[in-house]
Structure 1
Amino acid sequence: MTPCFFGSSERQLFGMHHPAQGAERATGVVLCYPAAQEYMLTHWAFRKLAGMLAREGFHVFRFDYYGTGDSAGAVHEGRVAEWLKDIRHAVNELQDLTGVQRVSLVGMRLGAALAVRAAVEGLSTAGLVLWEPLVEGAAYLKELELLQTRRAARTLFPQPVVPLEVRQELLGFAFPRALHEDVLALDLTALPAWPSTRTHLVTATPKPEYERLQRHLEATGLPFQHHLVAEDTGASTIRESALLSNRVLQTITSLLKEAA
């Protein structure tokens, strides 16, 4: 692994390059993390996935969005439009570092929605892998709010419930009104167009929002596959232990190998 800072001097981003091992493939992979609220739950899984892909000959790049992780910026400065630019910078950085011409995007939860939006807005991709994607912003926020309520109920001195738009904090991370509105506006099934690249939807359980997304994608006539992969941990929703399903990681690795 090779850590690096990239982007502009005013907006430095932190990234990690996992060099290809053995015969190098012509396609690289950029991994798009979920939001800060789920970052710690998924960091190890992303690191493991990067290693698995590197051993299959892929150059892999994972990075922190501006205002998250080890990138510059305060948490409250995060915005969807800026994170889309960060994905484009990450793709360019991987191409500059390695010379790969084509890059696939693998995104989880909010990261999956950002990957789609980046591709819709002109980023050329070899393929999209959407891992438990955020399909509709409102439903996603309700999930996080429910988790916040459950956590609060287990504390010794529970705090009164305060609407998100008032407290501007969610699961211990700043969640300003502007970012709240950005996420609310996300709806993958309402996009006027879809990237003309193969899309893989990888989920652990059937959910109504995934079924809606599948119908939407099938209606486009573009190459699409839905892979239902039962988790080996037995969990089915966002949870407070790490999301480390080896079956999912193996599935994603196999899909990218086949495409390459």
Structure 2
Amino acid sequence: MNMRARADMPFHFGPERELFGMFHAAGSPAQKAVVLCPPLGQDQIRCHRLYRQLAQVLADEGVAVLRFDYYGTGDSAGDSVDVDWERCKVDTAIAASELRMRAGIDRVFAFGARLGGSIALASAVQARLAGVVAWDPVLDGRAYVSQLDAMQSALYSDEQRFMVPRKATDVATQWLGFSISDTLRRQLTNMHIERPTVPTLLLDSLLPEVPRYSSGFMAMARSLQPPTPWDDMRRLEVAVLSHPLIQAVTRHMREVA
């Protein structure tokens, strides 16, 4: 079994081995390392294939990569109702340390889509990140929670998905099929990222009608086309794929010192 095959095997890590990860060793001696911070809920499922493709392309470029799941998500321990914003930041810091150990590189960057980008930005100091690439990150938690509530309300009465509309009480504690806690709702409602604390590349593929980021959010920005309809109810089960995104992240990792 060669190095790449061995390295790409799944493993568990963390103080109690409660976190799941996948290390992608660089195809050549690694000069850089990137931890991929996934989004939450339905976005995590839709981005799974894209994250895997991105990891493989970066590894072929000589970048060591770690994909991982926060506690309560994916293949890590816990249930979706256990997801906690503060724990996600801690898990990101643990994942960054794990990547440093496995890659033998101290400077670790992070990539994240949607809430994954928000978590990367919020945990940048704690995780000692050298930089962040954030794809359509959520910066205003209150607006994001309102959007999820609206989508959830439309979902449970969607006649195209359910022959009989579901009772509101059955889905009152869910967002698009994922159980949530009052704690997470409160944490996301209060979440507001003012400005990056590390060098940041903002990849913007929001739909035209979505408000752009405030002028106070100082980051290098690049537009991605076509727009990504994250909140399109007709595409909730459709994987999010973007070759322009992979190209932009790969190019950026070539350019950073």
Q: Report the TM-score range of the alignment, normalised by the length of the smaller protein.
A: 0.7 to 0.9
Give yes or no for contact 2:12–2:18 (8 Å, CA) kept in 1: yes
Aligned pair count reads: 242
RMSD (CA atoms): 2.0
Q: Which runs of 5+ in 1 are unaligned?
A: 219-223
> CA-to-partner distance for each residue in 1:206-226, whole Å, 9 max, x for gaps?
5654331xx1133xxxxx311
Match of 2:57 among 49, 52, 65: 52
Which residue matches 1:203? 204
Q: Which runs of 5+ in 2 are unaligned?
A: 1-7
- The percentage of counterpart residues that share the same residue type is 32
Mapped pair 1:187 → 2:192: yes
Mapped pair 1:230 → 2:225: yes
Distance 1:170 1:59, change over 3 A: same
Instruction: Supply the distance in 1 between the matched residues of 2:56 and 2:209 (Cα, whole angstroms).
Output: 30
Give yes or no for contact 1:78–1:179 (8 Å, CA) kept in 2: yes
Instruction: Supply the distance in 2 between the matched residues of 1:209 and 1:123 (Cα, whole angstroms).
Output: 29
Mapped pair 1:65 → 2:66: no
Which residue matches 2:11? 4
SS of the residue 2:14 aligns to? strand
Q: What TM-score, normalized to structure 1?
A: 0.86
Amino acid at match of 1:236: P
Give yes or no for contact 2:41–2:175 (8 Å, CA) kept in 1: no
How much has 1:88 moved relative to structure 2?
A: 0.5
Instruction: Supply the distance in 1 between the matched residues of 2:209 and 2:137 (Cα, whole angstroms).
Output: 11
Mapped pair 1:126 → 2:130: yes
Give yes or no for contact 1:66–1:72 (8 Å, CA) kept in 2: yes
Q: For residues 90-129 of structure 1, what are the structure 2 equivalents within 5 Å? A: 90-120=95-125, 122-129=126-133
Give yes or no for contact 1:42–1:243 (8 Å, CA) kept in 2: yes
**4+ aligned runs moved over 2 Å, structure 1:** 142-152, 159-164, 205-211, 234-239
Which residue matches 2:3? none
SS of the residue 1:105 aligns to? strand
Give yes or no for contact 2:135–2:205 (8 Å, CA) kept in 1: no
Match of 1:157 among 164, 179, 183: 164
SS of the residue 1:28 aligns to? strand
Instruction: Supply the distance in 2 between the matched residues of 1:105 and 1:54 (Cα, whole angstroms).
Output: 14
> CA-to-partner distance for each residue in 1:48-87, whole Å, 9 max, x for gaps?
1111111110000010000111111122111111111100
Amino acid at match of 1:102: R
Instruction: Supply the distance in 1 between the matched residues of 2:100 and 2:92 (Cα, whole angstroms).
Output: 12
Give yes or no for contact 1:135–1:209 (8 Å, CA) kept in 2: no
Instruction: Supply the distance in 2 between the matched residues of 1:204 and 1:235 (Cα, whole angstroms).
Output: 6
Instruction: Supply the distance in 1 between the matched residues of 2:249 and 2:28 (Cα, whole angstroms).
Output: 20
Amino acid at match of 2:203: V
Which residue matches 2:5? none
Give yes or no for contact 2:58–2:65 (8 Å, CA) kept in 1: yes
Give yes or no for contact 1:136–1:209 (8 Å, CA) kept in 2: no
More helix by share: 1
Which residue matches 1:248? 245
Which moved further from structure 2: 57-66 or 239-248? 239-248
SS of the residue 2:112 aligns to? strand
Which residue matches 2:42? 37
Which residue matches 2:26? 20
Q: What TM-score, normalized to structure 2?
A: 0.87
Amino acid at match of 1:136: D
Instruction: Supply the distance in 2 between the matched residues of 1:86 and 1:185 (Cα, whole angstroms).
Output: 20
> CA-to-partner distance for each residue in 1:177-223, whole Å, 9 max, x for gaps?
0110011111113x6xx41x3111101135654331xx1133xxxxx
